[in-house]
Structure 1
Amino acid sequence: MIEVDGAHHYGTKSPTSADGHTTYTASPKLYSEMVAEDRRLRLAGYEIYCFGGWELTRPDSPQLISNFFTELLTRHKKPTP
């Protein structure tokens, strides 16, 4: 399983600022729910690979993703593209 985590996974939405920006406040409850689900899936036999949303907006994100999948395929002995 591959998951992309955004602030909504671990924080509660704060009121939108006057300039239109939305922020989140870290929530231990939401974080606990997220990691409990992660544990449940792992115990069910799934491999979990999480990406933070910020990682996928960086200029080097295509290379980051390519490197990840190359390593993942190598780990499972699958031919790379």
Structure 2
Amino acid sequence: MLFSDRKRVVIEVDGKHHYSVGTTASPRLYSEMAAEDRRLKLAGYHVFRFGGYELSQPGAASMLAGFFDEIYSRMS
């Protein structure tokens, strides 16, 4: 997302394939994800991550609406 005053936002939705191989957690995949977060932040992006599980829970739509309201008010 790009805001008028050049603030840049990245929204990530992570499923288990972002941090595991099959059903086993992968320190390598997690480290790659963390390194990419750092790279984006150093490039001037605000990075926000959501877990896929989080978005499948009751109330997720309301939580997302609140998040987008808040991000818009802070970045605009």
Interval containing the TM-score (normalised by the shorter chain):
0.7 to 0.9
Q: Which has the higher strand share?
A: 2
The offset of 1:69, in angstroms, is: 0.6
Post-superposition Cα deviations, 1:14-67, rounded to whole Å, max 9, x if no partner, equal xxxxxxxxxx21111110011001101111111101000011111111001001
Measure, in 2, the Cα distance between the counterparts of 1:54 and 1:37. 21
In structure 1, the partner of 2:49 is 50
1:1-81 equivalences under 5 Å are 1-13=10-22, 24-76=23-75, 78=76
* 4+ residue runs over 3 A deviation: none
The offset of 1:70, in angstroms, is: 1.0
Higher-Rg structure is 1
Q: Percent identity?
A: 55
Let me know the Cα RMSD of the aligned residues.
0.9
Structure showing greater relative contact order (alpha-carbon pairs closer than 8 Å, 6 or more residues apart): 2
Gapped regions of structure 2 (runs ≥ 5): 1-9
Measure, in 1, the Cα distance between the counterparts of 2:19 and 2:34. 10
Gapped regions of structure 1 (runs ≥ 5): 14-23
